[in-house]
Amino acid sequence: MEIHDERIGDTCVVTAKGRLDGGASTAFADRIGALIASSKPKLLIDFAEVDFVTSAGLRAVLVLVKKIKAADGSFALCSVQESVREVLDITGFAGMLKIHAARAEAIAAMSE
């Protein structure tokens, strides 16, 4: 899985590409976890090019969410593909996370 990060305002925006599965989940959580070491971190992960998410990938996302909640920060996903969105719906992640249709909308919401 490829991961690219940038800062837009006070939000860390991560673009992920590829499969978030058992082979990628640990590196995903470690790499992004290192980006949110500050207090009250704001993290947006763009899932536009994430085409496959397993339970191990969901576990990595949950680890990040818990870390951000503990630091009183905020977390969102955007641009989630249809099949991945179904996985998030089934597992209750869609109700637990903020999921935006598009990156611009997510950044605007997180900047408020």
Partner 1 sequence: MTAVTTRLESTVLATEDGISDLTDRVLAFLEEQGVEARPTHHAALVLSEVLTNLGTHGGCRDQPARVAMTVEPDQVTGEIVDRGPPFDPRLAPAPALDLAADDRPIGGLGLYLVRKLSCALEYQRRGDENCTTFAIKRGTASNNGTSA
Task: Return the residue of 10, 30, 49, 86 that touches partner 1, per CB under 8 A.
Answer: 86
Question: Could you please report the per-residue DSSP string of 28-77?
Answer: HHHHHHGGG-SSS-EEEEEEEEEEEE-HHHHHHHHHHHHHHHHTT-EEEE
Tokens 């998030």 found at: 88
Task: Return the residue of 3, 5, 8, 19 that touches partner 1, per CB under 8 A.
Answer: 19
Task: Return the residue of 51, 101, 105, 108 that touches partner 1, per CB under 8 A.
Answer: 51
For position 27 contacting partner 1 by CB under 8 A, the verdict is no
For position 40 contacting partner 1 by CB under 8 A, the verdict is no
For position 92 contacting partner 1 by CB under 8 A, the verdict is yes
Q: In angstroms, what is the minimal distance from the CB of 41 to partner 1? A: 14
Tokens 């590829």 found at: 18
Tell me whether residue 111 is exposed, middle or buried, using C-beta atoms within 10 angstroms of its C-beta: 0 to 12, 13 to 18, 19 or more: exposed
Pairing relation of β-strands 2-8 and 42-53?
Answer: unpaired
Binding site for partner 1 (CB under 8 A): 19, 21-23, 51-52, 54-56, 58-59, 62-63, 65-66, 69, 82-84, 86-87, 90-92, 95-97
